Structure 1
């Protein structure tokens, strides 16, 4: 029996060492295999089974470090994708050769040169060319951002396709893992261990695209969740993401989550819409980048409208080299909104002269249950109720419905091809309008020839020849014309005074500046009010008052009327007269050209969400700061997240990765053990032969 015992002992020893050699050899062979986790075979001693008990092969890894690695991977890829999505837009807007601000500065410089020689068509032509460049810069910038937005949205779609493939694969592997575990076929099963490795690799790939949390179940399966707790995959089902275009905004992607079963692939009817901030990973980064680009487009459109409106209003306040009233130099397009009903449509128009009120918002109008609400949506897409800011004098029976805000806030108005009462009676009708998203790309020039620049003011001033005092009148500004102002355009295209426009000032015995309207045809004078002597002739019309009927006074004019302003400087005497008259044949006048040039330093564009207004160049700088800050922050966070992720990967691989030096040592040790066990068998054979020979 002794030799037989030796043979059995040697056999078990050889078989055991063979398992150890297989594990080590497998580690060495997979040193460069993606997702492979080092294996270790352990042997338990036994006094029954010839000194060798059960063997158990296990994967060597730190579960907690692995979970942290998934989290760090999601953070890194979020910031990386966010930075990549913003990079093109940031570089485009900050490029000096494509800068809208530089183009506007060049235009105002050329306009200043032309103003010094107002009758020179050559200088006017140069200013006209510079204006074309400004418009082109606005168009190019907006169109490039739109292309970037489409590119980012394509990446969103590709990421979703990859996510769905990963969740389906993870669920299928989970199903197989559970089946093997329940049938006890998983112990020391190389295929089972390979499936565990592959599932971890797929989970790591998923963590690049989304923020995930992993919970291991008793049956060996993973339950993978989003950071918000929404299930993505287990052993029975897996999540399927769908990206859909927003019903009212084709540039906006909405993400929905539904489920499919691993066995019959039957889709759950109910879809859950996910919020952007809940997704994380590369997909979340791209979605947030698209939101940032969309807001930058709004801001650029706001700037384009403010620039064009200010230029148009000032040009209309003067008259041209052809002695005609100035007209708009740039065309600001109306914006067509989107409706939930095919029966109704909405148009948004920018209110002339209110470009400085325009802000970077989208608007949503909802009619239902006999009432209606108006909301604004900004950068963060939060819906804010602004119904109480509407003009309460709106006629609810008028067709089309005209919806405006108090004091022309936001600088826009809406027109709908139905009455408010009709719309409110519907079950639910929703309108969505994006006034400024594409306004920069739709901006165009209206000026056809250099003579169309209205360099001369529509009015001029004249000091009375028989005055006793030494005071003189001067035109402080001429900012607007039209039926709602003191001067409008006649049928012949030339400026004319409207009825009751202030065009004559006389000094009374108390030194007050009494204001009259003198009919240009009949010479009849109508007293309108007066500016008190205490104003000392500064901005006479702005300081003008009239009796309030209660023994006091009230302002004569609302702010902005009559569209021109005068000041009288010097010593005045009773009965001195000062006249405002139409600037007939005043082509050599450059006062309106100077006013056009001074627009560069005036506060013409509003900071969105604030009461502050800034100059055009400051507005563009603020736009650059918004996108630049977001881009730089994303790049900085990318570097920090990458460093942390790499550190976690090294920590994980230090335990789970294959060390060739260590494996070579184990290989040599197990080989020697194998040879030693083989010697036991050889010795037992010698003993056995000796025993046979003895007989």
Structure 2
């Protein structure tokens, strides 16, 4: 081997080892740089013992681990976002300062005080005060839930902007990497930066990344919608969804806006959407259902009593079937082709209400399908029982006029009526929210304690000569019945007289109901000509006697000749029978799932269960992410001990290479001297 060849080998070795030392220095200096992948020099021998050269500076990564980190990052951030929001909701519902349960206890406690002494002005005003406090508790809790929804909307706006920005940056790096690779320049740092941006993107939303052989990342979002293709990054925007109060994500693709909200899984956006759909909306619907059921049942019972002015009770709380509120509960989709005149949702039976939203969709052949969001149940409206006319529609019935412009159906305790100026057209959609704003809409309608209808309008009198153990009570069923048509009177006043069993063909106790309009000339009462006079009616202890607008119940065993008189309860200041009835509603099973307290308790329990589950899911996702991240770091991360050892190794190799150059020079000098 000539000295010139030896010199060349030394020079090449020096250069190669210098590059290796520079690469090690780069690794050491970036040990704390986020997203940096360690690099390694690939040294290759030249043929025929002619030295060494640097074939490549390799970026050490594991594609599988990198992809797994993105997947696990997306899963963890979804679980974390959901757990954080669910914990806030759980604390909100359970806190005494916000709890509807606590306010209900205070309200019914005030009612019990007025039951004990209905003549007390202070007790009556306490009921008004606690009613107002309960209304505000519903309103404030609903406002907090709406505030969370508005915060989510703002976050959706921000995340849409971040996704668009990250997509544009990744697309730009795709172009730069391709250009650098084409001119044999190093792309390692740009690839690290691209992976870091992709990781940040996966924190926000779940993505699918395809690593093309041409050094390009293709990134897809939702159900395979392209977000980044080559050097092109698409735009993501937030748009109003079916519910105009909720923001959703959409992809702008060649001037076409494609809503991808229902397809998004993973990342903080996925956590927000899942929380809103599964927890927040459900909580607001259940709260609204409690408020509607509470107002309707309280108003209904209050209507059956009389106040200190001898007048039947007015609405105590909001009339939940106010025309404005009925129209507020339904909205037409902005893309509908039919022209909507007016639409309403009436609360028909509170015990059948569901804490859910619905969507009515017009399909082929004007087939009408109702989708219930809480459980995904589908109902074909046009296959319900047909009603005679629009006013006669009752539960599980529908009516559609021949012109196709009037539609009404009743299901789940609600009655929906839609009037369009044109026929409903395939693709038309209507969002129905029967209970969503119930807590927001609740208000106190009565503000004067004297107007509390705590007394029953019917007074019961036992004849002083009664010999039996019979005890009569009255339950008013209709304050608008003919018996109460004249203010301050029972028309007619009646008397129930028990007859001698011996005079009955059956030998059993019977009674006769008399019209006592003229006490000196009582006549047998006849409510229905088809039924006839109410004389010699079979008596059953505890059985209800149905009269006009009220029901009489006589317990125990009367004796023949016993009499019970019923008249208007004029100036019944100390009467508390309707107050008792109002108070007893606390324990009544007014809903399909129980009482007010039962339903609120189940809401708190459900949210608590979701929260506990989400926290466990967050912890599990974090453990998985930590494991994957550690595995990736073991491959791509910089190990200072390992780099220090390599530093010594290549330093010695560099010194030896320099010595090789000196030896070559010495040989060459010796040759010159020998000539």
Counterpart contact for 2:16–2:53, Cα < 8 Å: no
Pairing 1:348–2:314 present: no
Match of 2:353 in 1: 358
CA distance in 1, matches of 2:49, 2:673: 30
2:515 paired residue among 486, 511, 518: 518
Do the aligned partners of residues 568 and 647 (structure 1) sit closer, same or farther apart at CA in structure 2, a change above 3 Å counting? same
CA contact (8 A) 1:323 1:585 kept: yes
Q: CA deviation at 1:370?
A: 8.5
Q: Are the structure 2 counterparts of residues 566 and 119 from structure 1 closer, same or farther at C-alpha, using a change threshold of 3 Å?
A: same
Partner of 1:536: 540
Tell me how far 1:405 sits from its aligned partner.
Answer: 4.9
Match of 1:451 in 2: 450
Residues 310 and 211 (structure 1 numbering): CA distance in 2 closer, same or farther, change over 3 Å?
A: same
For 1:6 and 1:64, the matched residues in 2 are separated by 44
Residues 357-413 of structure 1, C-alpha deviation per residue, up to 9 Å, x if partnerless? 33223344567899573625333677654454577133356999986655xx54433
Pairing partner for 1:635 from 615, 620, 626: 615
Structure 1 residues 623 and 75: CA distance shift in structure 2, 3 A: same
* Structure 1 residue 470: Cα displacement: 0.5
Report the Cα distance in structure 2 between the residues aligned to 1:451 and 1:164, rounded to whole angstroms: 63
1:571-610 deviation line (CA, Å, top 9, x unaligned): 34556544443222222111111111111111123xxxxx
Alpha-carbon separation, structure 1, partners of 2:497 and 2:65? 85
Q: Secondary structure at the match of 2:298?
A: helix
Residues 590, 384 of structure 1: alpha-carbon distance in 2 compared, 3 angstrom cutoff: same
Unmatched 5+ stretches in structure 2: 391-399
Q: Equivalent residue of 2:114, what SS? A: helix
Residues 1:639 and 1:577: Cα distance change in structure 2 (over 3 Å)? same
Change (3 A) 1:178 1:535: farther
CA contact (8 A) 2:153 2:247 kept: yes
Alignment of 1:310-389 (within 5 A): 310-333=297-320, 334-335=325-326, 336=328, 337-339=330-332, 340=336, 344-351=341-348, 354-365=349-360, 373=368, 375-379=370-374, 384-389=379-384
Give 1:286 shift. Answer: 0.8
Q: 1:299 aligns with which of 269, 286, 289?
A: 286
Match in the other structure for 2:634: 654
With normalisation by structure 1, the TM-score equals 0.84
For 1:230, the equivalent position in structure 2 comes to 225
Contact 1:513 1:540 in 2 (8 A): no
Equivalent position to 1:283, from 253, 269, 279: 269
Counterparts of residues 138-537 of structure 1 (less than 5 Å): 138-181=138-181, 183=182, 185-186=183-184, 189-190=185-186, 192-226=187-221, 228-246=223-241, 248-259=242-253, 268-291=254-277, 292-333=279-320, 334-335=325-326, 336=328, 337-339=330-332, 340=336, 344-351=341-348, 354-365=349-360, 373=368, 375-379=370-374, 384-389=379-384, 392-395=387-390, 405=409, 409-416=411-418, 418=419, 423-424=422-423, 430-464=429-463, 470-475=468-473, 477-478=475-476, 480-483=477-480, 488=484, 490=486, 492=487, 494=488, 496-497=490-491, 504=496, 506-507=498-499, 509=504, 510=506, 511=508, 516=513, 518=515, 520=517, 524=523, 525-526=525-526, 536-537=540-541
C-alpha deviations, 1:297-336, integer Å up to 9, x for none?
1111110011111111111111112222112110135242
SS of the equivalent of 2:40 reads strand
Alignment of 1:574-589 (within 5 A): 576-589=562-575
RMSD: 3.3
Q: Do the aligned partners of residues 431 and 278 (structure 1) sit closer, same or farther apart at CA in structure 2, a change above 3 Å counting?
A: closer
Q: Give deviations 1:452-493, integer Å, cap 9, x for gaps.
A: 2111112233345565x5042322644x4333x575464x4x
Contact kept in structure 1, 2:308 and 2:450, CA below 8 Å: yes
Counterpart of 2:312 in 1: which secondary structure?
coil
Q: 1:45 to 1:427 in 2, by over 3 A?
A: closer
1:604 is paired with a residue whose SS is coil
Counterparts in 2 of 1:390 and 1:116: CA distance versus 1, 3 Å: farther
Q: Is the 8 A contact 2:511 2:537 kept in 1?
A: no
Report the secondary structure of 2:58's partner residue.
Answer: strand
Match of 2:12 in 1: 12
User: Offset at 1:415?
Assistant: 5.0
Q: Is the 8 A contact 2:6 2:660 kept in 1?
A: yes
Q: Is the Cα–Cα contact under 8 Å of residues 35 and 193 in structure 2 kept in the other structure?
A: yes
SS in 2 for 1:567: strand
- 276-285 or 660-669, larger mean C-alpha shift: 276-285
| SS of corresponding position for 1:432 | strand
Secondary structure of the corresponding residue to residue 631 of structure 1:
helix
Structure 1 306/663 Cα, relative in aligned 2: closer, same or farther at 3 Å? same
In the TM superposition, residue 173 of structure 1 has moved relative to its aligned partner by: 2.0
- The answer as to whether partners of 2:212 and 2:218 remain within 8 angstroms in 1 is yes
**Residues 240 and 258, structure 1, Cα contact 8 Å, conserved in 2:** yes
Change (3 A) 1:129 1:473: same
Kept in 2, the 8 Å contact 1:390–1:405? The answer is: no
Three-state SS of the structure 1 residue aligned to 2:341 is: coil
In 1, Cα distance between equivalents of 2:450 and 2:403: 40
Change (3 A) 1:580 1:662: same
Residue 227 (structure 1) shift: 6.5
How far apart are residue 145 of structure 1 and its match? Answer: 0.7
| Aligned 8 A contact 1:362 1:435 in 2 | yes
Aligned-partner Cα distance in 1 for 2:211–2:415: 57
Distance 1:520 1:105 in 2: 44
CA 1:309–1:226: 2 relative to 1, 3 Å:
same
Shift of 1:626: 2.7
Distance 1:513 1:7 in 2: 133
Return the offset for 1:687. Answer: 2.4
> CA separation in 2, counterparts of 1:636 and 1:212?
24
Check conservation: 1:481, 1:487, Cα contact below 8 A: no
**TM-score calculated relative to the size of structure 2:** 0.86
Instruction: Note the 1:40-189 alignment, pairs <5 A.
Output: 40-48=40-48, 50-181=50-181, 183=182, 185-186=183-184, 189=185
2:168 & 2:536 partners in 1: Cα distance? 82
